[in-house]
Every structure is written in structure tokens, then in C-alpha cells.
């Protein structure tokens, strides 16, 4: 059983453990040659983590705890700046580039809150895929069905597996089209994508300025709420569980329910049944805007345009060191004109207005985070056709919420022991605290239901 932030916080407060002990256990798991650590971390901060843990223990003995994450081991995705280091972002193309002059704002806030940063986690190169494959640093194996070797989901692949395997109590990742929620769903964890402006992106290597957001992958909704408050510098009381009997949910029938495999369909229907039995009102609604998003993004969308803007000089210098499946998608942005980009911005404004009008009056949208369970790594590594087909399908539902600039939570909804499946709870921009409150209630309901 994976320990939550609150469980580790209580153990520290009661003197049943120390930050040093928690950190040593995390480092032991990360360094185990029989484990996933070599594929999970691109850099392990063993000495720095031990020093931070000792400092935290000293403060705690003096009666000081800076936040609920004081002394807890946390991992950070390999696209967050750390002072004095080159931010590689899961690539080798940035070798020799200038080192970051200071920590990313997110890293500063985590450190100020007492977090013990155990290492940088592996990711899809430059965050440009939802699968988690990386030809430079290998692929962390999904904890479900390791015998087959299944994808962890991406792009925050190492972040998720660092949590499932006890190398961190939570992993901090980025989400441009599902990169927090997808690995959370496929690995049986909780992942939260906030409204983009909620957490500062200063010092985070970008994929898309218009779509990037920063969130946590963790064992519970409460963990994600705590970490979100730290990263957003939100000092208000944490969200509380919503009253499910007073909630009205919308299930979009357009696009979002297509292509579900048997495992996902059964788990999703069971989740809706639990909510309905608890008194929630659930309506199926058409959202035709969802069907139109592919046409809006036909030339590559914000991701290709803005990635090309950032990467063009690096590709000129080191394009042959990129993952071919990543650089080919970035290069699509070269053909997007200024007029195309302005058209895209206008289309997004109209699209958002249309979607927001349709979901007005509902407390949240409910949809499968990912319509399929994690496919085998070998199948996707061997075939470009299989890779791109799986990538498009797995990114499809999460991307809808990024384009909306919404807040979204993926919570496990599968039966105990089954293939991991995520239920996405989503709302428009600014609904972060409401979505977290709903997530707390949904999570509690699932724990009360016999498997």
C-alpha cells in the first residue's frame, strides 16, 4: 500500500519516523538495481536529499514544520530548472547548453515548504507525447503487468512510477495535453491539472506557452490538493469533500466515449452507477465542439507552433540528437504562419465560449481519462503507425480540457486488482478548488464500495 502525504505527515508528527528515514527508503528503492530507478530518474539527488532531510528533522525537533509536506520525499520532472544544472527535459540535445541560473519558481516553493527533492524524473523527450517512451533514457515500466512491460503514460512517465514504487510520496509534472493525468490514470494514481495560470511556469522548459500547466501525481486527491496549494502559494483552507447528493454532472457523448476498451467501459459505467446511487444527477449531453477540435488543430495547433518557436535554433544545432518521433512533430510548426496562429487563437476563443455555454449549470464533466488500458511498450516501439495511433487516442480526452484551459483531476475508478483506469473530473478555468472537492468525495465513495 502506497503511503499518502497525510499518512507520512502524521507519522512524522507522532515521531514514528523521520524525514531522514523516509528519504533513505526512497533512495534505497531508487537505487535498487532490480527496480525501476534507473529508468525513473535521469538524476538522483542523494547527497542533497539527505542534507535536506536532516535539516527538516532538526527543524521538527525545534517544533517547526513549514508546511504539510515538511520532510517528505518529492520527485520533480526533468523540465524544471535547478540552479547550476542544464535542464535536459528527457533529451540529450541540450548537452552543453547554459546551466539554469536559479531554481524554477515551483522548485523554490517546494523547497521553502520543506520538501526533500529526491531527483529529476524521466519523461518523453521535451514532453511531446502521451505515451512515455524515451529512446535516450529507456521507459519506466508500468507497475501493472510488469511481466508484459507496459507504458507508464507520458509525458510525466518517471513521475508516476516514482510514486507507485515508493521512490517519492508525490511526483511533480507538467500537463500540456494530459501529461499528468495520463500516467496517473494508466498507473492507478491521482493526477491534477490546474487552470494554467494557477501555478507559475517561470523556470519550466516549455512545450506550449498556451497550454502548459503544472500539477502533481500522487496516491490520493488530498495529496494533490496539498501540493497544488504549495505550488500555487494558495494559503486558503484546503478544499473539503463535496456533497455528492447535491451535484449535477455532465457526461459528454461527443467523441469522449468513443474507442473505449472493455476494461475502461466497465470501470467508467461502474463509477457513474456509484455516483448516481449516491444521489448525484448525471446527464448525457452532446458537445459538438469536441468533434471540431481536430480540424482546429489540423496544422499542429499551439503545441507545434510554440514548440517550433522555442526549439528552432536548437534543432538547427542538434536536430540529429532528438527522438525522430518528437522532432518530426515539432517541425510541423515551421509551416504555421502568423495568420494561421492568429486564426488558431480566435478559434480557441470561440471554441471555449461554446463549450463553457454547454456545461454551464453543471458542477463538472465526467469522462474516461484515457479510453484504453496501458498498451505494451514493445508494440509501440516497433511501429510508427502503432505509436502515433496510440498517442492520438490516449491524448484525445485530456487535450479537450487543456484547450478549454480547464481544471481536471484523474482518479482511479477500476476494481481492486484490475487494470488501472482513470475517471476524469473536469471543469472550466478557475474551477480548481471545486474539482478537488468533488474528487475528494468521489474518491471516498469508491473506497466505501466493495470491490
Quote the CA–CA distance of 420 and 142 in Å, as a whole number.
10
Concerning whether 28 is annotated as a catalytic residue, the answer is no
Contact 52, 13 (CB under 8 A): no
- CB environment 221-245: b (16+ within 10 A), e (fewer): bbbbbbbbbbbbebeeeebebbebe
Query: Which residues contact residue 158 at a Cβ distance below 8 angstroms, ignoring those fewer than 6 apart?
Result: 39, 40, 41, 42, 75, 77, 78, 121, 122, 123, 140, 152, 171
> How far from 412 is each of 18, 440, 442, CA to CA, in Å?
30, 12, 10
Quote the CA–CA distance of 332 and 315 in Å, as a whole number.
13
Computed on alpha carbons and rounded to an integer, the radius of gyration of the chain in Å comes to: 21
Quote the CA–CA distance of 234 and 432 in Å, as a whole number.
12
From 179, 208, 220, 431, active-site residue: 179
Identify the CA nearest to 259 among candidates 127, 395, 359, 128. 395
From 20, 67, 77, 208, active-site residue: 77
Concerning whether 77 is annotated as a catalytic residue, the answer is yes
Q: What is the β-pairing status of strands 190-193 and 214-218? A: antiparallel
Quote the CA–CA distance of 298 and 429 in Å, as a whole number.
24
Identify the CA nearest to 268 among candidates 251, 248, 254. 251
Identify the CA nearest to 422 among candidates 258, 188, 194, 260. 188
From 129, 155, 156, 220, active-site residue: 155
Contact 220, 238 (CB under 8 A): no
Report the Cα–Cα distance between both ends of the chain, in Å, rounded: 16
- Residue 305 in 3-state DSSP? helix
Query: Which residues contact residue 92 at a Cβ distance below 8 angstroms, ignoring those fewer than 6 apart?
Result: 136, 321
Residues known to be catalytic: 77, 155, 179
Amino acid at each position: 500500500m502506497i503511503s499518502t502525504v497525510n499518512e507520512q505527515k502524521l507519522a512524522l508528527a507522532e515521531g514514528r519516523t523521520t524525514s531522514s528515514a523516509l528519504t533513505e527508503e526512497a533512495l534505497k528503492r531508487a537505487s535498487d538495481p532490480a527496480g525501476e530507478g534507473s529508468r525513473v530518474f535521469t538524476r538522483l539527488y542523494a547527497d542533497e536529499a539527505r542534507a535536506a532531510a536532516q535539516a527538516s528533522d532538526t527543524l521538527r525537533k525545534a517544533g517547526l514544520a513549514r508546511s504539510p509536506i515538511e520532510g517528505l520525499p518529492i520527485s520533480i520532472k526533468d523540465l524544471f530548472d535547478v540552479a547550476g544544472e542544464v535542464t535536459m527535459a528527457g533529451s540529450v540535445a541540450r548537452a552543453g547548453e547554459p546551466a539554469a541560473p536559479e531554481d524554477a519558481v515551483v522548485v523554490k516553493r517546494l523547497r521553502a515548504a520543506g520538501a526533500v527533492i529526491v531527483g529529476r524524473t524521466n519523461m518523453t523527450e521535451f514532453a511531446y507525447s502521451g505515451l512515455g517512451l524515451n529512446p535516450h533514457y529507456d521507459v519506466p515500466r508500468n507497475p501493472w503487468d510488469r511481466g508484459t512491460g507496459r507504458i507508464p503514460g507520458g509525458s510525466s512517465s518517471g513521475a508516476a512510477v516514482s510514486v507507485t514504487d515508493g521512490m517519492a510520496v508525490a511526483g511533480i509534472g507538467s500537463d500540456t495535453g494530459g501529461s499528468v493525468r495520463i500516467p496517473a490514470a494508466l498507473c492507478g494514481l491521482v493526477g491534477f491539472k490546474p487552470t494554467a495560470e494557477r501555478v507559475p511556469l517561470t523556470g519550466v522548459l516549455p512545450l506550449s506557452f498556451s497550454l502548459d500547466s503544472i500539477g502533481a501525481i500522487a496516491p490520493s486527491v488530498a495529496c494533490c490538493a496539498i501540493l497544488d496549494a504549495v505550488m500555487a502559494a494558495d494559503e486558503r483552507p484546503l478544499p473539503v469533500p463535496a456533497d455528492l447528493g447535491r451535484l449535477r454532472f455532465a457526461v459528454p457523448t461527443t467523441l469522449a466515449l468513443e474507442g473505449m476498451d472493455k476494461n475502461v467501459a466497465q470501470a467508467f459505467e461502474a463509477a457513474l452507477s456509484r455516483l448516481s446511487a449516491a444521489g448525484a444527477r448525471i446527464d448525457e449531453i452532446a458537445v459538438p465542439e469536441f468533434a471540431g477540435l481536430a480540424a482546429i488543430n489540423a496544422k499542429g495547433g499551439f503545441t507545434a507552433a510554440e514548440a517550433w518557436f522555442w526549439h528552432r535554433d536548437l534543432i538547427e544545432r542538434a536536430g540529429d540528437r532528438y527522438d525522430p518521433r518528437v522532432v518530426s512533430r515539432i517541425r510541423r510548426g515551421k509551416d504555421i504562419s502568423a495568420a494561421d496562429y492568429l486564426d488558431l487563437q480566435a478559434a480557441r476563443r470561440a471554441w471555449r465560449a461554446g463549450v463553457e455555454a454547454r456545461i454551464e449549470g453543471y458542477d463538472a464533466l465526467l469522462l474516461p481519462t484515457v479510453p484504453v488500458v496501458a498498451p505494451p511498450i514493445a508494440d509501440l516501439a516497433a511501429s510508427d503507425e502503432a505509436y502515433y495511433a496510440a498517442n492520438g487516442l490516449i491524448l484525445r480526452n485530456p487535450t479537450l480540457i487543456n484547450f478549454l484551459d480547464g481544471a481536471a483531476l484523474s482518479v482511479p475508478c477500476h476494481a481492486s486488482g484490475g487494470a488501472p483506469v482513470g475517471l476524469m473530473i473536469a471543469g472550466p478555468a478557475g474551477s480548481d478548488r471545486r474539482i478537488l472537492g468533488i474528487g475528494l468525495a468521489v474518491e471516498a465513495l469508491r473506497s466505501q464500495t466493495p470491490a
